[in-house]
Amino acid sequence: IVPNSEYREGCLVSPHNDEKFYIPLFMSGQKKNLPHDLFRHDSVPLNKNEYFSLWKNWNQLLDGKRTYLRPLRDRRVLSVSGVFRRPLARPWALEFQEPLLDLVEDYPDNDIVQEMIKILCQRYVHFKRTRGDGSCFYRAFFFSYLENLGQMQDSQAEVTRLMEHVAVSRENFCRLKWDKAYFLNPEEYFSSVASELNHLVNSVANGLSSDELQKRSLQEMMPLRVISLLRLLAETEIRTRIDDYKPFIPGKVNVNQYCWKEVRPLDVKASALAMRALTYALGIPLRLETLGEGLTAGGLQVKRLDFFPRSESGKGAFHIVRSYWSSTTTPEPLEIGSGSLMSSDGTPLLTLLCRPDNCDILYRK
């Protein structure tokens, strides 16, 4: 937090210019994405000017029937008179495994997507939903990694490899310039969250059971600080290798602006560019099966993206293999790499399902 500033409900407010300096921390700033975790009973929306006229005496805000936080429509909340209220229930960060074929029920009016799901069922048997809050990819990616880490014979060696990649990213992170509205001490922040990450992966490597891993996931085992670190790793990778990534940034937006709007905010979904940057920063290969436009000249097909780190492929920083498969074709093994995070057929162990509204974990037969 910037010195001599106030932090109020996720926003940084400068005492020198209260009316203009109003910056959401790690949020996109779009009205539709404002936090809704707190609610006022029978409240009336309070505009910014009115809010600033009352904030010096916070009791006026708590005792009154007005708030600058807008309640969600059609959202049931606990009835506690005169105080802030939390929602009755919040979707779990990660659900339990479900049969992949059950996903067809989510698309009762979309025959194309239903058929694509049936195609995926040729190779995958289960999937795990993640909460669609903008960070679903990062959450699914890292939880899938933890699951695979727990099944490795030499998991401690993998932890060492991972943290070596994080250490390299830390050096790059510290060379970059960061807005003090986000980090008063960038090096201290990175080291602190990286320590949390290190503790988490070591817990898994030291024998944390899959049941306990699932239980902790339901209890937000990956706090927003860890997810924010994953986003910062992707941003650091992009900003460190600007020449590799800039050609893939749309429009005339510069790299810093792109990261500030599309990578760093916790409520913005990951783009293919951010996905690629994170896989390279951590040296983790990834397979992404997609549900979307599947009609091609060859019939109904599922598009697949395979992300490979440079150490595995020997190619440039932005290396993606695109392939398509249908109900009448069986995808051929790529045999493009090897290692603890690759399957016996040379393909990534981490496999996610990318849907238009979410990103989930897939489990092979």
State yes or no: pLDDT of 63 exceeds 60.
no
Torsion, CA 268, CA 270, CA 272, CA 278, rounded to 10:
130
Q: What is the pLDDT of residues 126-159, one digit of tens each?
A: 999 998 888 999 999 999 999 999 988 889 999 9
Domain, as residue range, for 338: 94-364
Please give the angle made by the CA atoms of 91, 268 and 168, to the nearest 5 degrees: 105
Q: What is the pLDDT of residue 327?
A: 54
Look up tokens 């670190």; give the residue.
229
The residues, ordered by sequence, that sit 6+ positions from 18 with a Cβ below 8 Å of its Cβ are 52
Residue 317 lies in a domain: yes
- List the one residue out of 256, 285, 10, 265 whose CA is nearest residue 133: 265
Q: What is the pLDDT of residue 72?
A: 43
44 pLDDT band, cuts 50/70/90, is low
Residue 69 lies in a domain: no
Supply the DSSP string of 242-302, one letter for each residue. Answer: HHHHGGGS-TT--HHHHIIIIIS-TTSPPPHHHHHHHHHHHT--EEEEE-S--EETTEE-E
pLDDT top residue among 361 and 76: 361
Average confidence (pLDDT) over 85-90: 44
State yes or no: pLDDT of 15 exceeds 80.
no
How are beta strands 44-45 and 124-130 bridged, if at all? Answer: unpaired
Average confidence (pLDDT) over 110-135: 91
Alpha helices (H) in the chain, listed in sequence order? 48-54, 58-63, 111-120, 136-150, 155-175, 186-205, 210-218, 224-240, 242-245, 255-258, 272-282, 310-313
Distance CA 259, CA 256 (A): 5
Helices 224-240 and 272-282, axial angle in degrees (round to 10): 90
Q: What is the pLDDT of residue 138?
A: 95
State yes or no: pLDDT of 88 exceeds 70.
no
Q: What is the pLDDT of residue 280?
A: 93
State yes or no: pLDDT of 222 exceeds 70.
no
Q: What is the pLDDT of residue 229?
A: 93
Residue 247 lies in a domain: yes
37 pLDDT band, cuts 50/70/90, is very low
Average confidence (pLDDT) over 72-100: 57
Task: Give the mean pLDDT of the chain.
Answer: 75
Look up tokens 């919040």; give the residue.
90
- List the one residue out of 301, 341, 339 whose CA is nearest residue 322: 301
Residue 10 lies in a domain: no
71 pLDDT band, cuts 50/70/90, is very low
Distance CA 254, CA 252 (A): 6
Residue 13 lies in a domain: no
Count CA within 13 A, CB hemisphere, residue 38: 10
Q: What is the pLDDT of residue 4?
A: 40
Q: What is the pLDDT of residues 173-188, one digit of tens each?
A: 999 998 776 777 888 8
If 0-12 CB within 10 Å is exposed, 13-18 middle and 19+ buried, where does residue 260 land?
Answer: middle
**Burial profile 78-105: b = 16 or more Cβ within 10 angstroms, e = fewer:** eeeeeebbeeeeeeebbbeeeebbebbe
Of the chain, the percentage scoring pLDDT greater than 90 comes to: 38
Residue 81 lies in a domain: no
**Burial profile 190-220: b = 16 or more Cβ within 10 angstroms, e = fewer:** beebbeebeebbebbbeebeeeebbebbeee
Distance CA 321, CA 304 (A): 8
State yes or no: pLDDT of 58 exceeds 70.
no
Residue 290 lies in a domain: yes
Any idea what the CATH number is for the domain that residue 298 is in?
A: 1.20.1300.20
State yes or no: pLDDT of 28 exceeds 70.
no
pTM score = 0.73
Tallying the residues shown for the chain, one arrives at 365
74 pLDDT band, cuts 50/70/90, is very low
Residue 82 lies in a domain: no
State yes or no: pLDDT of 84 exceeds 60.
no
Please give the angle made by the CA atoms of 262, 350 and 265, to the nearest 5 degrees: 15
Supply the DSSP string of 350-364, one letter for each residue. Answer: -EEEEETTEEEEEEE
State yes or no: pLDDT of 319 exceeds 70.
no
Average confidence (pLDDT) over 58-62: 53
In the chain, the number of structural domains is 1
CB 290 within 8 Å of CB 354: yes
Tokens representing residue 295 in the block = 């009609």
Count CA within 13 A, CB hemisphere, residue 293: 2
DSSP code of 68? S
